[in-house]
Structure 1
Amino acid sequence: MANTTAVLLAAGAGTRLGHGPKALLPFRGGTLVEHAAAVLRDGGCSDVIVVVGAGAAEVAALQQPGSALAGCRLVRNDDWASGMGGSFHLGVASMRAGHNVLVALVDQPGVSPALVARLIAAHRPGRITAAGYRGAAGGLHRGHPIIFDPLLAVQAAAISNGDVGARDFLRSHPELIDLVDCGDLFDGADLDTESDLHLLGGPAASGAPGA
């Protein structure tokens, strides 16, 4: 099984939410970016790349010995205001050769190590593996995290721009995507607006790898 590099997209300013960069929001005695990095590592990612932008200096200051960010590679996106496309591109460009790429968002505190481990275990060479969540109609819809085969990650990053990220590539190649039902572990919610702040104080997103 190929190793998996996590690309954690954590560059935004959190303008819609209105509480500063989401990466620096307090969560369980630390910050969201520290929590997300720990989840990715505990879930089985061998390498964690954190793409930072707004609040980059503050995130870098958290990278102390013993911190969840210790050992992570920080990649700075100076053009973070243009959207996540640039961050996705920089993250993929920084990955280790031959590694699968798991793309995660810093504003999903409900993602657990068990969810990450499930996706890694389900991933097949030459494919894209995405977490699936059940909507009101009952069917699975694609969400994050998403794992890309190395070559597919490069291809997706090559056409990413603005706030689109890999969306256009994914829409153009549905035949490459395997949806993995993760609805028993998480509902796919992220922190976008003030009404989502309850996600920072909800039940622990627990789960050991493989649970």
Structure 2
Amino acid sequence: MEYLEPSQLGLAACILAAGYGSRMGHVPKAAIRIRERSVLEWQVLALRGAGVQDISVVVGPYQEQLCPLVSLCEAELVLNESKSAEILHSQIAAVKSHYRDRHGCDMMVLLGDLPFLQTHHFLRLRKLWEMRNGDIHGLVPMADGVRGHPLVLSWSAVQTIAESGQTDKGIRSWLSRSKQSVQFVEMNDPAYVRDVDIPQDLAQIEGPAELPLVS
């Protein structure tokens, strides 16, 4: 059985933060502040603690609130030019940006509303990725049978999505078409799926949480 060595070109992460946050009261969930930092800042810190230095953030609405945070985190800004805030269009923007600017680099994709992910969660997933079978081009964490984030794609998978003429079908479509090349791993940890979707979810967070102001 062939196993892959860690990619010499490394791993780049993209955080999808282009939603409307309508169920949260129409606020950018990545900008929610927890213990003096935004969710976005905590995610970037955790990623960099796991050795993922190349980070981009897809932003759609709420650019006034999110663009300064992206700059503060020293991450790359990727604009979702679509009028839609559906995750599909964020995925499209993420894949196109990665394919254009990070040739040969594997890709980690995560949602911007997962505040419970910490460095050890990313380290665990990265170790699994580096030790995967050579036929595996996608890795998806699971928690109690529910698909989670971040998911990881090989450069080959990114290239296939970008060059197939089906970029507009998104990552989920590739996962469905390529099940033999995707490893679904039960992580036994709710942090991979535990988001903040409605105001009541903030009660789960340890420490004060503050919603951003939107004019």
State the TM-score, normalizing by the size of structure 2: 0.78
Bigger relative contact order (CA 8 A; separation at least 6): 2
Q: Where does residue 39 of structure 1 map in the other structure?
A: 46
- TM-superposed CA distance for 1:117, in Å, is 1.2
1:1-211 equivalence runs, <5 A: 1-2=6-7, 3-63=10-70, 67=72, 69-70=73-74, 72-79=75-82, 81-95=84-98, 96-123=102-129, 124=132, 125=134, 126-134=136-144, 140-156=145-161, 159=166, 161=168, 165-184=170-189, 186=191, 188-199=193-204, 201-202=205-206
Deviations 1:102-142 (A, max 9, x none): 001111111111111111111135421111212xxxxx442
Is the 2:92–2:167 Cα contact (8 Å) retained in structure 1?
yes
Q: Where does residue 207 of structure 1 map in the other structure?
A: none
Q: Give the superposed CA RMSD.
A: 2.3
Deviations 1:70-118 (A, max 9, x none): 2x11111132524122221222222211111000111111111111111
Taking only the aligned residue pairs, the percentage that are identical comes to: 27
Secondary structure of the corresponding residue to residue 90 of structure 1: helix
Distance in 1, Cα, partners of 2:63 & 2:158: 24
State the TM-score, normalizing by the size of structure 1: 0.80
Distance in 1, Cα, partners of 2:166 & 2:35: 37
Gap runs ≥5 in structure 1:
135-139, 204-211
Amino acid aligned to 1:129: L
The structure with more helix, counted as a fraction of residues: 2
Gap runs ≥5 in structure 2:
1-5, 208-215
Amino acid aligned to 1:73: E
Q: Is the alpha carbon distance of 1:12 and 1:86 closer, same or farther for their aligned partners in structure 2, counting shifts above 3 Å?
A: same
Q: Is the alpha carbon distance of 1:28 and 1:182 closer, same or farther for their aligned partners in structure 2, counting shifts above 3 Å?
A: farther
Amino acid aligned to 1:155: T
Distance in 1, Cα, partners of 2:203 & 2:179: 33
Distance in 1, Cα, partners of 2:167 & 2:188: 28
Which entry has the higher C-alpha Rg, 1 or 2? 2
- Matched residues, number: 191
Q: Where does residue 208 of structure 1 map in the other structure?
A: none
Distance in 2, Cα, partners of 1:111 & 1:63: 18
Is the 1:11–1:23 Cα contact (8 Å) retained in structure 2?
no
Distance in 2, Cα, partners of 1:21 & 1:185: 22
